[in-house]
């Protein structure tokens, strides 16, 4: 696609309510001056200048519009995710630019599940990511890495909440404690729903509030009544992204990778074209990302995004 066509597509998607004609992002006025020589507009009402990407995640853009379209196409096409290094090679841009761009797109993918409430039959399960400890070289120096006192404290639990045959909502917690899973479940599962969970004692307290089905994984994975295989199926996608693409996805941004993989899982039956359209529309109808604007100038996200911080 030529740059001119890409620019027209940006306008059409950004201002779809106004047939692709500019709408002032400052005051909402549709009366604007256009400039022949530059791709900017000036509002007749508030006199402020703006472009098609002002106030979106692409605000302050330096790449061509077609590069962003290509980035979105590569991003949605990669079912196991795409690493920043790969994206930088594909687009011919710097690694740092690709890293921030991919993370801005990940942030967009997280929006829809932020406050989602699941109904019907819902499966829950946790899986642990990160905090890898390399075993010591000499056998006599090796320790039991399963013990908490030998771990480095960086291991985190991605807690998956999934409607049967339906959507996944991921949240990151420190570990599957009763308090953490209860907080996540109260936020994301309707009180009328029935919950399928494994034998972990952290779920015991939920019997008072929800209809619960428990499955003992040391005996069987599906007993015809209870099963959490849907939630676990999604973990394998996140695990493939970790092992195959990113190699290391824990830490401050674990939730972003989990959001990306949930977005892709929830749309796995849609074709690339509709995914592309969806992500482009959401990217252009969402305010500037605070965590990723000026990232390399030191504007990092201050801490982890944990649903339950203890
Ligand atoms: Zn205006």
Residue boundaries of the structural domains of the chain: 1-52, 114-133+142-262
SS3 assignment, position 298: coil
User: What is the structure's pLDDT at 186?
Assistant: 94
Query: Residue 203 has which token pair?
Result: 């779920």
In angstroms, what is the span from residue 51 Cα to ligand 1's centroid? 12
- 254: tokens are 């674990």
42 CA distance to ligand 1 centroid (A)? 8
Helix, strand, coil percentages (3-state) for the chain, rounded to 5, are 40, 15, 45
Going from the Cα of 136 to the center of ligand 1, the distance in angstroms, rounded, reads 63
Token pair 């599906």: residue: 222
What's the gap in Å between 80 CA and the centre of ligand 1?
Answer: 42
CB 106 within 8 A of CB 238: no
* Apex 160 CA angle, 227 and 258, nearest 5: 145
Q: 12-26: string of b/e by CB count within 10 Å (b at 16+)?
A: ebbbeeeeeebbbbe
Task: Give the model's pLDDT for residue 70.
Answer: 96
Measured in angstroms, how far is the CA atom of residue 285 from the centroid of ligand 1? 17
Res 310: pLDDT: 54
Q: Could you tell me the sign of the dihedral formed by the alpha carbons of 171, 308, 306, 132, in that order?
A: negative
For residues 100 and 294, is the Cβ–Cβ distance under 8 A?
A: no
Residues within 5 Å of ion ligand 1, judged at the Cβ atom:
24, 26-27, 29, 43, 45-46
Ligand 1 mean position, distance from CA 279 (Å): 26
Tell me which fold the domain 114-133+142-262 belongs to.
Nucleotidyltransferase; domain 5 (3.30.420)
CA of 293 to the centre of ligand 1 (A): 23
The total number of residues shown for the chain amounts to: 310
Q: What is the DSSP letter of 78?
A: -
Query: Ligand 1 centroid to 15 CA: how many Å?
Result: 14
CA distance 130 to 98: 23
d(CA 153, CA 201): 22
Q: CA 187, CA 166: separation in Å to the nearest integer? A: 18
Q: Give the CATH number of domain 1-52.
A: 2.30.30
In the block, tokens 């692709």 appear at: 20
- Dist. CA 20 → ligand 1 center (Å): 16
Cα 63 to averaged position of ligand 1 atoms, centre (Å) = 25
Cβ atoms of 220 and 124 within 8 Å: the answer is: no
Distance in Å, CA 29 to ligand 1 centroid = 5
Q: So what's the pLDDT on residue 309? A: 67
Give residue 43 CA to ligand 1 midpoint distance, Å.
5
Residues of the chain with pLDDT under 70: 309-310
241 — phi, psi (to 5°)?
-65, -40
Question: What's the CA-to-centroid distance between 41 and ligand 1, angstroms?
Answer: 10
Q: Give the per-residue pLDDT at 73.
A: 96
User: Tell me, what DSSP letter sits at residue 174?
Assistant: S
DSSP lists the bridge partners of residue 159 as: 126, 171
């Amino acid at each position: 696609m030529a740059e001119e066509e890409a620019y027209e597509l940006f306008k059409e998607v950004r201002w779809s309510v106004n047939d692709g004609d500019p709408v002032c992002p400052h005051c909402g006025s549709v009366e604007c001056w256009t400039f022949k020589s530059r791709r900017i507009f000036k509002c007749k009402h508030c006199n402020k200048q703006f472009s098609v990407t002002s106030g979106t995640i692409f605000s302050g853009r330096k790449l061509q519009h077609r590069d962003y379209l290509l980035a979105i196409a590569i991003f949605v096409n990669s079912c196991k995710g795409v690493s920043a290094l790969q994206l930088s090679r594909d687009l011919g841009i710097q690694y740092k630019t690709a890293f921030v761009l991919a993370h801005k797109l990940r942030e967009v993918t997280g929006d829809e599940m932020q406050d989602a409430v699941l109904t019907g039959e819902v499966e829950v399960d946790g899986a642990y990511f990160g905090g890898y400890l390399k075993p010591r070289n000499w056998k006599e120096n090796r320790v039991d890495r399963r013990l908490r006192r030998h771990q480095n404290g960086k291991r985190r639990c991605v807690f998956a909440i999934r409607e049967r045959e339906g959507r996944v909502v991921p949240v990151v917690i420190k570990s599957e404690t009763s308090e953490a899973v209860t907080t996540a479940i109260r936020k994301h599962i309707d009180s009328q729903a029935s919950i399928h969970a494994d034998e972990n004692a952290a779920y015991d307290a939920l019997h008072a509030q929800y209809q619960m089905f428990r499955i003992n994984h040391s005996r069987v994975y599906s007993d015809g009544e209870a099963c959490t295989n849907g939630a676990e199926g999604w973990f394998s996608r996140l695990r493939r992204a970790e092992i195959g693409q990113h190699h290391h996805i824990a830490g401050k941004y674990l939730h972003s990778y989990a959001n990306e993989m949930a977005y892709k899982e929830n749309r796995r039956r849609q074709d690339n074209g509709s995914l592309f359209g969806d992500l482009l529309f959401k990217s252009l109808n969402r305010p500037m990302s605070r965590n990723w604007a000026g990232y390399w100038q030191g504007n990092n996200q201050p801490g982890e995004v944990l649903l339950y911080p203890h």
